[in-house]
Amino acid sequence: MHAHSDHAHHEHADPASTRLGIVFWLNLSFALIEIAGGLLLNSMAILADALHDFGDCLALGLAWYFQKLSGKKRDRLFSYGYKRFSLLAAVINGLILVGGSLLILRETVPRLWSEPTALNTPGIVGLAILGLSVNGFAVWRLRGGHSANEKVILLHLLEDVLGWAAVLGGGGLMYLTHWYWLDPLLAILIAFWISSNALRSLFHNLGILLQMIPSSVDLDELRAALLELPDIFSVHDLHSWSLDGEYNVLTLHVVQAQTLSPSESLQLKQKIRALARTHGIEHLTLEFETQNEACELEDC
Ligand SMILES: [Zn+2]
Ligand SMILES: [Zn+2]
Ligand SMILES: [Zn+2]
């Protein structure tokens, strides 16, 4: 028994995939400009951003690919379809950001103690302005996305914008004061900021992969609401998890209070489905039992 009405949602061309594609190509071309610029200007802060953006490109490419794949329906290999693949991309994405941040720290921390060399501050300011416009455009293109993937990417594109704003401010300050140690300091702050956000979303997505109860589903509340329905004696084997952070699944066994006719059973089933839907469940699997039936999943 399934709630089938929401299964046909992803058949039209996926706008999320188009949005991610545009942002991917934009990011890739800019990351190359950035790496050249960072090396030319000898700026660790810009190289930190460049390395980060390069990691983003790989992550975006994965996300773009998996977003397309995640629209695929069930087949002989994956009975739930490919929704979870977008989650996998989000996890790889998070790992790349954490790894990239560690790399930046390893390269940058020693620079804090070495004698700072003079930097081409007008060049840094110019590149920061370019970075701000490119990333600002990418954020604008991705706004309104709702998949876990798009949220992760939007989040770190926003970080990129703020990162560039910091580089712009730092570059301006170095231009005025010649405090060139600001450059590695900025790079380190950017790396810490990136990795703390990435770790947070990584834990969230790992929770979904490990079939944690979705944060939008309150199982105790749902159980209480079910027990208030007239024909229900008890419920058990209540399990809930999320396929991708949006699409929530629920299984349960319902023991009927008295023997119901087929049409009464159908009515009860429809009530349970409607109730589950108001509690954030999109895919419900339900089993009816009688009171004198021994169920081996009573406490599972
Ligand atoms: Zn189904
Ligand atoms: Zn049972
Ligand atoms: Zn169970």
Nearest ligand to the C-alpha of residue 73? 1
Torsion of CA 44, 49, 53, 55, to 10 degrees: 60
**Could you give the CA distance from residue 17 to residue 253 in angstroms, rounded to a whole number?**
38
User: Is domain 15-209 annotated with CATH 1.10.3720.10?
Assistant: no
- Nearest Cα to 289, choosing from 252, 237, 254, 239? 254
Residue with tokens 């416009």: 133
* pLDDT tens by residue, 192-209: 887 888 898 899 999 999
* pLDDT tens by residue, 6-49: 444 444 556 767 777 777 888 888 888 888 988 888 888 887 78
Q: If you measure from the C-alpha of residue 295 to the centroid of ligand 1, how many angstroms do you get, rounded to a whole number?
A: 23
pLDDT recorded at residue 118? 83
CA dihedral sign, ordered 90, 95, 100, 101: positive
Q: If you measure from the C-alpha of residue 287 to the centroid of ligand 2, how many angstroms do you get, rounded to a whole number?
A: 7
Phi (first) and psi of residue 250, to 5 degrees: -135, 135
Q: If you measure from the C-alpha of residue 249 to the centroid of ligand 1, how many angstroms do you get, rounded to a whole number?
A: 10
Residue spans in the chain of domains classed CATH 3.30.70.1350: 219-289
Distance of CA 81 to the CA centre of its chain: 19
pLDDT recorded at residue 214? 95
CATH fourth-level superfamily of 219-289: Cation efflux protein, cytoplasmic domain (3.30.70.1350)
Q: If you measure from the C-alpha of residue 3 to the centroid of ligand 1, how many angstroms do you get, rounded to a whole number?
A: 6
Q: If you measure from the C-alpha of residue 273 to the centroid of ligand 1, how many angstroms do you get, rounded to a whole number?
A: 13
Helix (H) or strand (E) holding 169: helix 148-177
Nearest ligand to the C-alpha of residue 238? 3
Q: If you measure from the C-alpha of residue 281 to the centroid of ligand 1, how many angstroms do you get, rounded to a whole number?
A: 12
